Amino acid sequence: MSSCSYIDPLIVAKKAGVPCRIAHAHNIKCAGKLRNLVHRINRKKIKRYATLYLACSNDAGNWMFLPEKWKKGILIKNGIESKKYIFNMQKRKNIRTILKINKDEFVIGYVGRFTEQKNPMFICEVFKEVKQKRNNVKLLLVGDGNMHNQMDEFFEREFLKDDVIYTGIVENVEDYMQAMDCLVLPSLFEGLGIVAIEAQASGLPTLLSDKVPKEAVITKLAKILTIDNGIECWVEYIINTPIIKRKNMQQEIINAGYDIEMTAKRLSEIYLNI
């Protein structure tokens, strides 16, 4: 569930006599005044219909179910196929060759939807300033969304189009992460921010906004920066970030509990106990 604005399946399930009804939270905000109003109303009565509460982060659980109900909930980490993200130099070379990125160019990466929640215009402004101070840099944008045209217009106006690479929506996100040198996620809100886990699994320096739950910081590669005070600290951090020697981060992902096999086992235990 992205919010409590739509709990009809839980209501129908109770009326049909389904004994176990699970509500799973994976966000900490919803768009639109009407949807937020309905969410606030429904989360007060969701206890009538849900018998078990799950969430991908404590922030998501508290927002979706309110703290008093979330105390009885279960945290389920968003697992990834960690072995897919192990750094591979050959993949890095192949992708950068396909994208026509030079060996010595520093690549700022973003993966996700181009929507207001993800704050893409913040990325555009950061890149503009970084480009003025660090010339040999590219911006790699993996994804798409309704703000694509607005971003295009910005890059056109600022004469940056030649330094920006759009991939569109791709199946092999992990391969494109190999080509990056840092990943930015300046979201206005996130349930967790699974792309941050994937980036760290890839061995990437990962810059997160202070609106992303702290559970997304699972290695020393991740850094939380404020977005309320403008772009300056983001620009400063990026221009001082070197192209690092990447290493295999799989064991750290496993140790943090974000490997998909561990998550699947945990869910199986919950379902079997039910």
The domain ranges of the chain are 8-76, 82-255
Average pLDDT over residues 172-179: 97
pLDDT(31) > 90: no
| Length reported for the chain | 274
- How far is the C-alpha of 92 from the C-alpha of 20, rounded, in Å? 46
Cα–Cα distance measured from residue 72 to residue 220, given in angstroms and rounded to the nearest whole number: 31
Query: Which residues face 107 on adjacent strands?
Result: 138
User: What is the Cα–Cα distance from 80 to 84, expressed in whole angstroms?
Assistant: 9
Predicted local confidence at residue 153, as pLDDT = 97
Q: pLDDT tier at 98 (50, 70, 90 boundaries)?
A: very high
With b for 16 or more beta-carbon neighbours within 10 A and e for fewer, the 186-218 pattern comes to bbbbbbbbbbbbbbbbbbbbbbbbebbbebbbb
pLDDT at position 274 is 80
| Residues whose CB is less than 8 angstroms from the CB of residue 154 and which lie 6 or more positions away in sequence, other chains included | 121, 124, 128, 160
Q: Copy the structure tokens of residue 12.
A: 């129908």
**pLDDT value at residue 245:** 93
pLDDT at site 104: 93
In the predicted structure, residue 128 carries a pLDDT above the cut 80: yes
Q: How confident is the model over 54-89, as pLDDT tens digits?
A: 998 999 999 999 888 899 899 999 899 999 999 999
Residue 186 vs residues 32, 86, 158, 179: alpha-carbon distances, Å? 20, 24, 21, 20
* pLDDT reading at 145 higher than 90: yes
What does pLDDT average to over the chain?
A: 94
Could you tell me if 109 and 127 are in contact, meaning their C-beta atoms sit under 8 angstroms apart? no
CB within 8 A of 207, min separation 6: which ones? 182, 183, 184, 185, 186, 222, 223, 225, 234, 237, 238
pLDDT at 260: 94
Sorting pLDDT into bands at 50, 70 and 90, what band is 1?
A: confident
User: Which residue is listed with tokens 């290493």?
Assistant: 247
| pLDDT tens digits, one per residue of 220-258 | 999 999 999 999 999 999 999 999 999 999 999 999 999
Read off the pLDDT band of 44 (50, 70, 90).
confident
For the domain made up of 82-255, the CATH class stated in words is alpha beta
Separation between Cα atoms, residue 96 and residue 106, nearest integer Å? 11
Quote the pLDDT of residue 273: 87
Which pLDDT score, from 0 to 100, does residue 30 have? 80
Of all residues in the chain, what percent carry a pLDDT higher than 90?
81
